[in-house]
Structure 1
Amino acid sequence: MELLNDMALFVEVAKAKGFRGASEATGVPNSTLSRRISALEKAIGLRLLHRTTRRVELTEAGQVYFERCKRIVDEARLAHEQLGEMLAQPSGVLRASLPVDFAVIYMAPLIAEFAERYPGIRFDFDLTPRQVDLVSEPFDVAIRIGEPESSHLIARPLASFVQRLYASPSYLKRSGVPMEPADLARHECLNVLRDRPWTLHRGKQSIQVSTSSRFTLNNVGLIRRFATLGMGIVLITDELAADDVAAGRLVRVLPQWQGKPIPVYALTETRLLPAKTQRFIEFLKERLAKNHAGT
């Protein structure tokens, strides 16, 4: 890259027939230009320029070198412009693995907006709960909620979602409203996969409470649905509860307390990503940050 930059500077000096004109064109100081060209001549082992007090002229070797450098620099600039166009309007199939409920409930409008912005991209989404293998399977990116399990993947943070406690009005009418976190031990607390303690925060105060449930589930959407049907209290993100809260099917419980923030990551096998994947990750990070401004 440094050699290509020196070649580009040499082309500008040759075109301007002097260091002052080349300095004005490139913004590189005269002294730096002179030093870089001298280093280039030393590396090649040939004098490329005749320097006078007023101007510089190409030597015979310099003329040959100039013509070749100009062609290389022009091709490099053209390639850069073409890559810029590809980044501006990427195309191809974007293969992504997404969390089922998060994708259906929250990401769907974001994906629709992204698809409208980039009409050249087609989409192949996998919404099964399994953990796809980004190394052996043809996925460009996996969006995951929670800390990544594999250290072999590149994890790019997208957002962090706050968890809060929700229950249906019917459940609270039947079982009572918990007034403090310790009361949750006497309630049906719907968890993912297994009974586990909930760590709740209120400002700098933190407390861990034991939870138990008749149900063992591995799907957040079903947990949320059970909560709307009066089956217990659930700890989920505001985003997943928003529609049910707006419809009156869920209400906040212990509103001054909240669970541990849940991070959202974009996982890829490599840092070198095609334009379609770069744009998708950048878009999600931008929109998620915008949606959570001030929360």
Structure 2
Amino acid sequence: MNYQDLFIFLKVVERGSFLSASESLSVPTSTVSRKVQQLENDLGYKLMHRSARKMVLTEAGVKFYNRCQPLFTELEYAAKELDDELAEPSGLLRVTAPVSLTNDLLAEWFFKFMERFPRINLELIVVNRNIDLVEEGIDVAFRIGDVRMQNWISRPLMESSFSVCASEDYLRRRGVPQHPQDLYQHTLIVTRRNPVWNFSKGDETVKIVGDARMKVDELNIAARAAENGLGIVNLPDYVVTKSLIAGRLKKLMPGWQPHPREVHMLYPERKYIPGKVRLFIEFVMFHANEKRFN
């Protein structure tokens, strides 16, 4: 059996007619018809009833197509994967991530990736809202917290630990809380995505849903507000570590551990992952593992 004839047969079925297949393959319609007829002769079965403008599969044609089409798709995937591995990766990669997570952590990884793969262009959509990933044509997305999206793979990237903190000025004026329940007597600065604060100490857990004097969707603004003595914050360590080291903020209730949140990386669930996307995923996972174990 001639596999070129098989390919042409599959293309005719895919396009719905000999004419459309010939236009797609840039070969004469007569050649398409002759190749399909030769395939039928080799198999000993009539695969379709045909004319120049339309075709109808026979029972044998339906069975043959259903068996062969997935095999050819696998071959195309294999060839594409090989090309991605041997050729220098290139093209546009669209990535979205939250603002503070990007500024305080991911940006350096993105820059290193671009240095490593100079022919890959990166388009970053840095926002604090969950945009429509399909409509925006996103290749990879970063999300914080519990993530469930149909037809998207969600890979845990790292666990983001939190710290409850305030400025020395605020604590002098309002006192230092010793227990999470004490927070109800204080002014809280709350982020929109983490309005409920959960704490653990041994087997004891406490949930705090306090009234926020300030609610904001950008974590660094919340940290700055706390530095200016406006209230108490519960923020990821990647946001407040520098402020704690510099003394602009003080960590509170060291015996109580705010619940961490998982950072996830998402990408579409599909059989074939483009080489540029696969390289980006592997690159980010490597740096996340490196950070986790250092």
Q: TM-score, normalised by structure 2?
A: 0.67
Whether the 8 Å contact between 1:194 and 1:216 is mirrored in structure 2 is no
Among all aligned residue pairs of Structure 1 and Structure 2, give the percentage whose two residues are the same amino acid: 31
1:185 aligns with 2:184: yes
Distance 1:132 1:185 in 2: 34
Whether the 8 Å contact between 1:96 and 1:141 is mirrored in structure 2 is yes
What corresponds to 1:237 in structure 2? 236
Whether the 8 Å contact between 1:184 and 1:210 is mirrored in structure 2 is no
**Structure 1 residues 77, 266: CA separation in 2 closer, same or farther (over 3 Å shift)?**
closer
Q: How does 1:199-214 map to 2 (within 5 A)?
A: 199-214=198-213
> Which ranges in structure 2 are unaligned for 5 or more consecutive residues?
1-42, 44-76
Give the CA RMSD over aligned residues.
2.6
Whether the 8 Å contact between 2:167 and 2:248 is mirrored in structure 1 is yes
What corresponds to 2:91 in structure 1? 92
What corresponds to 1:139 in structure 2? 138
Once the two structures are overlaid, the 10-residue window that deviates more, 230-239 or 153-162, is: 153-162
**Structure 1 residues 269, 226: CA separation in 2 closer, same or farther (over 3 Å shift)?**
same
Whether the 8 Å contact between 1:134 and 1:268 is mirrored in structure 2 is no
What corresponds to 1:20 in structure 2? none
Whether the 8 Å contact between 2:97 and 2:141 is mirrored in structure 1 is yes
Whether the 8 Å contact between 2:85 and 2:275 is mirrored in structure 1 is no
1:122 partner letter: N
Whether the 8 Å contact between 1:96 and 1:124 is mirrored in structure 2 is yes
Whether the 8 Å contact between 2:164 and 2:253 is mirrored in structure 1 is yes
3-state SS of the aligned residue for 1:211? coil
Distance 2:172 2:91 in 1: 53
**Structure 1 residues 281, 290: CA separation in 2 closer, same or farther (over 3 Å shift)?**
same
1:147-195 per-residue CA deviation (whole Å, 9 max, x = no partner) reads 1253342212211111121111211122111112221111112112399
Distance 1:194 1:185 in 2: 19
1:158 aligns with 2:157: yes
Whether the 8 Å contact between 1:159 and 1:264 is mirrored in structure 2 is yes
Distance 1:246 1:116 in 2: 31
Whether the 8 Å contact between 2:188 and 2:214 is mirrored in structure 1 is no
2:200 partner letter: H
1:175 aligns with 2:174: yes
Q: How does 1:1-295 map to 2 (within 5 A)?
A: 82-86=83-87, 89-193=88-192, 196-271=195-270, 272-293=272-293
**Structure 1 residues 203, 274: CA separation in 2 closer, same or farther (over 3 Å shift)?**
farther
Whether the 8 Å contact between 1:100 and 1:128 is mirrored in structure 2 is yes
Q: TM-score, normalised by structure 1?
A: 0.67
